[in-house]
Amino acid sequence: MTVEDKRSRYSADFDLPVRGDTITAERYISKDWMALEMKHLWPKVWHLGAVTAELEEEGDIVRHNFGKDSIIMVKQADESIKAFYNTCPHRGNRLILGDVASTPRITCGYHGWQFDPAGTLVHVQDPDDFADGNPCGKLHLTELRCDTWGPFVFWCMDDDVAPLHEWLAPYPERLAGYGLDNWVRVLNVSADCDFNWKIIRDNFNESYHLPTIHPELGTFINDGLPDTVFEMYPTGHNAMWMKGHQATTRKDHASGEVPAPLDAIAAAWGVDPAAYKGHTGDIRQAVIEAKRKLGPDRGYTNYDQMTDQQLVDYFHCTMFPNLTLTMSPEQCQILRTEPHPTDPEKCVFQHWCLYPPVKGMKEIETPVGVAPLRHDAIHRHSTYGDGVSVGYVADQDLSIGTTQQQGLNSRGFKGFHLPLQEKRVQRFHELLSDYVMGTA
C-alpha cells in the first residue's frame, strides 16, 4: 500500500479548495464573534423547525425558540404552513409560550389581542379607541419564509436566500430514494450543553474521532480512509459515505470471524456469519442481496428505490451551518446544535430520529432504547451531564464538548492543525468566516 492509498479520498466531482486560514479559539469564546454570527449568519440560512406530522390541522402550531428569537409555524386552512415571529404587534409580548399548541385564535396573554392562523388580527379590546380606526383585519403578525422538504418544515428570516430546495442541494435529489416523506419521528430529545455550538459541528464534519470516541462502531462501520468518500458542495454542505455492514479496515477484522454485532445483523437477514470467516468484508454484499430479496416481504417498501450503497451504507449529510442528517435505509438521524441566547460557551443540542413505517412493526430500537413506533414516543429535554442519555453515540460525542471548550480557552492554543481528512472542518470555518465578515 502506498502513502496515497492511506490518505483520505475526496470525490473528484465534489472537492473544493480551501485557503488555509488559521482557525483560532476566538470564534468559540468571544461574545463579539457570537454577535456577528447572530447578525450575519443565522438570518441568512434555512432552519429546520418542525416535522409536518406536528402540523396536521388548521391552527396547529409548533414553536421554535432560536437564540433570543422565537418562531412559530402555523398550519393553514389550505394545507400550507406559515411561519411568524412569535411577538405581539401591540407591545411585543411573546405570544405562544409552549413548544406546541393548537388554536383557532392565537391570543396574546397581555391585553388579549387575537390573531387567526393566517396571522391577521381579528379581535382587540376597545376597537374604536385607535386613531386610525379598528386595526382588525389590517394588522398582521410578522411573517417569514416557510417551506417543506419531505417530512421537514424549514423557516428562513431572509428574503434573498435561495429557495429551500435549491439551498438544500444536492440532498433532495441524493436522498430521494430513501422515501423520507412518511417517516415517523420517534425520538425527539435535546440538552443544554456547556460548549460553543461549533464544537459538535466540527465533530460531525470529520470521522477522525471514530476510533477513539466510538471504538465499537468499527465492528460494523468501515471508517478506514481508503473506503470512505468525502464530498463538498458549492452550497457549503458536505457529506461522507461510509461503508456499513463491514468492519473497519483500520484493524484486521477481515481475516477472522465476523465481529459482533455484525454477525447478528447479518443473521437477521438470513446470512450465515460462519460462512464469511476469513473474508468478513464480503458480508456487506451478501446483506445487499438478502435485503433486495427479503426486504419487501418484511414491509420495507422503501428498499425498491434505493441503490445498493444506500441499502447498507451510512450517508452522513452535513448541511451548512448546523444540521446533520445521517441516513441508513431504516433510520434518519438528525443532529444539531444551536447557539445559546447570550453565552458563546453554551449551546442546545438536539437529536431526532425518524423511521420508515413498516407494516406490523410496533416498536423500534432507538439510540436511547426500544420505543413504540409512533410520533415523539421519546420526547425530553435535559442538561448534559445530568445522566440523561441523548443517544449512546451522541453521548460519546458530547463527552468531549466541555473539555474541548476548556482547552480552547487556554492561552497555549494557537489554532487548528488539521489532517487532510478534516478539510471539511477547514472549509466550514472558512465559509463561516465569509458569512461573519459579510463576504459570503
Minimum CB distance to ligand FES smaller for 117 or for 244? 117
Cβ-proximal residues to 180 (8 Å cutoff; 6+ apart), any chain: 150, 151, 332, 354
Q: Among residues 325, 320, 303, 321, which one has the least CA distance to residue 312?
A: 303
Phi, psi of 300 (to 5 degrees): -85, 75
Crossing angle for the helix pair 423-436 and 197-204, to the nearest 10 degrees: 140
**Buried residues in 393-421 as b, exposed as e (16+ CB within 10 A):** bbbbbbebbbebbeebeeeeeeeeebeeb
- Ranges within 211-270 binding ligand FES (CB under 6 A): none
Shortest distance, position 380 Cβ to Fe ion, whole Å: 21
Cβ count within 10 A of residue 130? 13
The item of ligand FES, Fe ion, none sharing an interface with residue 91, based on CB under 5 to 8 Å by kind, is ligand FES
Q: How many CA atoms lie within 13 A of 263 on its CB side?
A: 12
Q: Contacts with ligand FES: how many residues (CB under 6 A)?
A: 8
The item of Fe ion, ligand FES, none sharing an interface with residue 111, based on CB under 5 to 8 Å by kind, is ligand FES
Q: Which of 93, 120, 328, 382 binds ligand FES (CB under 6 A)?
A: 93
Q: Which of 44, 90, 94, 379 binds ligand FES (CB under 6 A)?
A: 90
Phi, psi of 170 (to 5 degrees): -95, 20
Cell of 73: 409555524
The item of ligand FES, Fe ion, none sharing an interface with residue 397, based on CB under 5 to 8 Å by kind, is Fe ion
The item of ligand FES, Fe ion, none sharing an interface with residue 140, based on CB under 5 to 8 Å by kind, is none
Shortest distance, position 65 Cβ to Fe ion, whole Å: 26
The item of Fe ion, ligand FES, none sharing an interface with residue 392, based on CB under 5 to 8 Å by kind, is none
The item of ligand FES, Fe ion, none sharing an interface with residue 108, based on CB under 5 to 8 Å by kind, is ligand FES
Stretch that binds ligand FES, among 66-74, 105-113, 255-263, 349-357 (CB under 6 A): 105-113
- Ranges within 59-88 binding ligand FES (CB under 6 A): 88
CB of 89 closer than 8 Å to CB of 142: yes
Per DSSP bridges, beta strands 143-149 and 81-85 are antiparallel
Cell of 380: 425530553
Task: Name the DSSP class of 44.
Answer: G
Q: Which of 61, 108, 184, 217 binds ligand FES (CB under 6 A)?
A: 108
Minimum CB distance to ligand FES smaller for 121 or for 225? 121
What is the spatial distance between Cα 319 and Cα 156, in angstroms, rounded to a whole number?
Answer: 14
Q: Which of 6, 39, 105, 111 binds ligand FES (CB under 6 A)?
A: 111
Binding site for Fe ion (CB under 5 A): 397
Q: Which of 6, 68, 91, 138 binds ligand FES (CB under 6 A)?
A: 91
Minimum CB distance to Fe ion smaller for 75 or for 201? 201
Chain residues that interact with ligand FES, rule: CB under 6 A: 88, 90-91, 93, 108, 110-111, 113
